[in-house]
Amino acid sequence: MINDIKSIDEEIKRLRVVLQTLDIQFKNSPYNKQPENTLRKKEALLMEIEKLKQIRNEKLSQ
């Protein structure tokens, strides 16, 4: 169970880095032709992070 929680924490960290990278690319690109695609990717990442947090909390409460 501890390994599961650690792997979930690592995945959350990885997704946050990807999200941060998307933010940087979005803000720094004056040629961003499809901002809605970037926003959809960010929303999907945020939803995945929330889902992983819920799973992690469920495992911790067991």
The Cα-based distances of 15 to 30, 31, 49, 61, 62 in angstroms read 24, 25, 7, 23, 25
Question: pTM value?
Answer: 0.81
pLDDT tens track for 4-61: 889 999 999 999 999 998 888 777 777 667 778 888 989 999 999 999 999 999 988 8
Who's near 55: CB < 8 A, 6+ residues apart? 8
Q: Are 8 and 59 in contact (CB under 8 A)?
A: yes
pLDDT of 28 = 72
Quick one: tokens of 27?
Answer: 């803000």
